[in-house]
Amino acid sequence: MNGDRNEREQPGLWDEETPTTDKPESDQPHQSVASKAAKRSSASEAQPSTTAPPAPQAVQRPELDIQDLWDAARVAAYLGVPKQTLYAWRHTRNGPKGFRVGKHLRWHPHTVVEWTLSLERD
Q: What is the pTM of this model?
A: 0.46
- The secondary structure element, H or E, covering residue 35 is helix 33-46
- The secondary structure element, H or E, covering residue 99 is strand 99-101
Q: How far apart are CA 33 and CA 39, in angstroms?
A: 10
Supply the pLDDT for residue 86.
Answer: 95
Do 62 and 77 touch, CB atoms closer than 8 A?
Answer: yes
Q: Comparing C-alpha atoms, which of 61, 6, 66, 12 is closest to residue 35?
A: 12
CA 107-109-114 angle, to 5 degrees, is 105
| Structure confidence by residue, pLDDT tens digits, 12-52 | 666 666 555 555 555 555 555 555 555 555 555 555 556 76
